[in-house]
Chains A and B, each alone.
Chain A
């Protein structure tokens, strides 16, 4: 009896292992064939995003390769390591794209990209990901309204003093829509924070040219 039990166990285990090997082989093959196309479409998607907030006339370097890592937990308030993308024109720093997170959205984090000229003026801001209420707080998304364009393009700390970086309801200069003030409040705060960070770390951000590895 016990011998047939051992035989049965072994054959069952063998079948399971066999299927696992076949499954792993199929996955490994698919992974290796799709790796290059995935990297390519990710890079294209990133570039398409950069093009939205930074005109191509403002840089002549490869944005995907000229990056500087920003460790987590700094003044930018990022919980994970992010990258600052440096734009250069004829070797001179022209702009930087920073990834920033507003931790105090109505429902969780609002992730944004902020493009800043070397002199601290905002070129463009875009929301990357958010979980705000559809139809209420989601007007911060360019797909729903151009609020983010109207309010932030051309802004700078020089133009708007620190205490005016608030929505109008709180006595600041930024528009909001009735019924959803928490969302724009969080966005304004995060953009303001990003500008301050840039002001304090400008040289550091542009320093150490061409690292060349963005893999």
Chain B
């Protein structure tokens, strides 16, 4: 990691595009595939994950020198689990309806390997400010993928966008629900698990296509390796 002025810019680019956890690293697929039946579900879980990642990176980085390497994984997991539980309780208290919808997937953020992966790969080696930014950006990168995937599945499956937004913002927000296709019968496949895999595959393919086109444009002179999606098996 370069400590230059471009470091922050690089962190942002890595999280949102080059190393996007959702469509490049393919980490944390369990929530990606399970909750993305609507934009609101996908984005709220993604946002909570991003906050947890920012907080866990920011708490691990300052104490990294005091944690002996033998016990670093248990300590990291302890920190992540504590933060997730704090988020779970806060959501239960103040966003009760949304908490009911996301249910088991909130505590499961602990087991989302992208959280531990960033703590281990970034926060354990870098200073606090860049670590916090890295967690936030990786999390936002995931949240964006979850929101887009949720949007695709919601439009195709139910013909609406932002349904359930009143769960997050109160009953007054119900007017923001957009009916894209009126009197839509619904296309079940998009809402069922196979729809999640197909939607994700389309997103990965689109991202790879855009990246290859960008690199081709950037000039064939620099033969930088194409960092396309690679499965890590999670």
Contacts and interface: CB of A to CB of B under 8 A. Distances in A.
Contacts of A34: 89-90, 92-93
Interface in B61-100: 66-68, 70-71, 74-75, 78-79, 81-82, 85-86, 89-90, 92-94, 96-97, 100
A106 to B, nearest CB: 14
A11 B81 CA distance: 23
B210 interface: no
Nearest to A19: B75
Given A20-B78, A135-B186, 9 more contacts: A8-B68, A15-B66, A15-B67, A15-B75, A16-B74, A34-B92, A45-B100, A134-B191, A136-B188
Interface of B: 66-68, 70-71, 74-75, 78-79, 81-82, 85-86, 89-90, 92-94, 96-97, 100, 186, 188, 191-192
A117 to B, nearest CB: 29
Contact of B192 (A8, A20, A45, A134): A134
A26 B90 CA distance: 13
Contacts, number: 58
B78 A23 contact: yes
Contact of A16 (B75, B96, B100, B186): B75
Interface residues of A, number: 22
Contacts of A26: 82, 86
B92 A41 contact: yes
Contacts of A15: 66-68, 71, 75
Contacts of A8: 68
A58 B175 CA distance: 31
Given A23-B79, A23-B82, A37-B94, A31 B74 contact: no
B89 A30 contact: yes
A44 interface: yes
A16 B71 CA distance: 7
A12 B93 contact: no
Nearest to B82: A23
Interface in A3-60: 8, 11-12, 15-16, 19-20, 23, 26-27, 30-31, 34, 37-38, 41-42, 44-45
Nearest to B75: A19
A21 to B, nearest CB: 11
6 closest pairs, A vs B, by CB? A37-B93, A41-B96, A135-B188, A34-B93, A23-B82, A34-B89
Contacts of A135: 186, 188, 191
A44 B96 contact: yes
Contacts of A30: 85-86, 89-90
Contacts of A19: 67, 75, 78-79
Nearest to A45: B96
B92 A38 contact: yes
